[in-house]
Amino acid sequence: MNVTVFDYGAGNLHSLAKALEAPDVLVRIETDPYRAVEVATDVLVLPGVGAFGSAADRLAPGRAAMRAAILGGLPTIGICLGMQLFFDGSDEGEGEGLGVIPGRVTRLRAVRVPQIGWNAVEPVRDPLFDAAPLPMVYYANSFVCRPADASVVTAWTEHEGDRFPAAVRAGRAVGVQFHPEKSSTHGVRFLRAFLDDARTTEREP
C-alpha cells in the first residue's frame, strides 16, 4: 500500500509517518498537491501541522485535482488541520478549503484556548471506532469544524461546554480533530484500522 502524506511545509511529520509505517505500507512525503494524488497513491493523509491560511495556499495549485480525487473515492484521512481543510473555509485564515464537506471552521468557544491535552471521544457511528475503540485521545487545537449537516459527524467531543465534531466522514474521507499519532497505542491502532478499511476501497476511474 502506497500512503502519501501531503506536506504543507509547516512541521516535522516524523511521528505521523512512523505511526503509519508497516512492512506492507510504504509512506512518502509529498509537497506537490498534484503528485500527492497521482495514480500511485492508495491513501492520502492530510496532517495536523500548520495554519489554515498557509496550508490552503500550499494546496491551492492542486486544489481541484485533490478535491476530485477525494470525491472520486481516494481513501483520505485528515488530522486536525487536515480535517479542517475538508471544509469550505476557516476563520483562522484566508484561502479556500477543499470543499469536500460543506461548512466552516471557527474558533473554539472557550476561555482556555488552545485545547492541548487529552480529551474524550463520543462515537456516533463508524466501524473504525468499533475496530479501534478510543478511550481518550490527544488534542491540540484552537479551531473546530462546524459542518452544515451534522449527519457527517461520526464522533463528538466537548471542551468547556463547546461541543464539536471529533470525527467526520464523507464517503472514503475521514477527518479527526484529535492526533491519533500522539494518542498512544490506541491512536496507532485507529490509523491501522483506517488503512485496513482503505484496502477494501476501489476508486472510481
**DSSP letters for 115-150:** EEEEE--EE-S-HHHHHS--SSEEEEESEEEEESSG
Q: What's the grid cell of residue 190?
A: 485507529
Mean pLDDT score, 79-102:
96
What are the φ/ψ torsions at residue 158 (nearest 5 degrees)? -145, 140
Asked if residue 203 has pLDDT above 70, the reply is no
Mean pLDDT score, 75-104:
97
Annotation marks residue 38 as catalytic: no
Annotation marks residue 179 as catalytic: yes
3.20.20.60, 3.60.20.40, 3.40.50.720, 3.40.50.880: CATH of 2-199 = 3.40.50.880
Cα–Cα dist 131/106, whole Å: 31
In this prediction, residue 10 carries a pLDDT of 74
- Give me the catalytic one of 92, 145, 159, 181: 181
Asked if residue 114 has pLDDT above 90, the reply is yes
Asked if residue 39 has pLDDT above 80, the reply is no
- Give me the catalytic one of 38, 80, 186, 202: 80
pTM above 0.85, yes or no: yes
201: pLDDT confidence band, cut at 50, 70 and 90?
A: low
In this prediction, residue 65 carries a pLDDT of 96
In this prediction, residue 202 carries a pLDDT of 53
Choose between 50 and 162: higher pLDDT. 162
Asked if residue 97 has pLDDT above 80, the reply is yes
Annotation marks residue 159 as catalytic: no
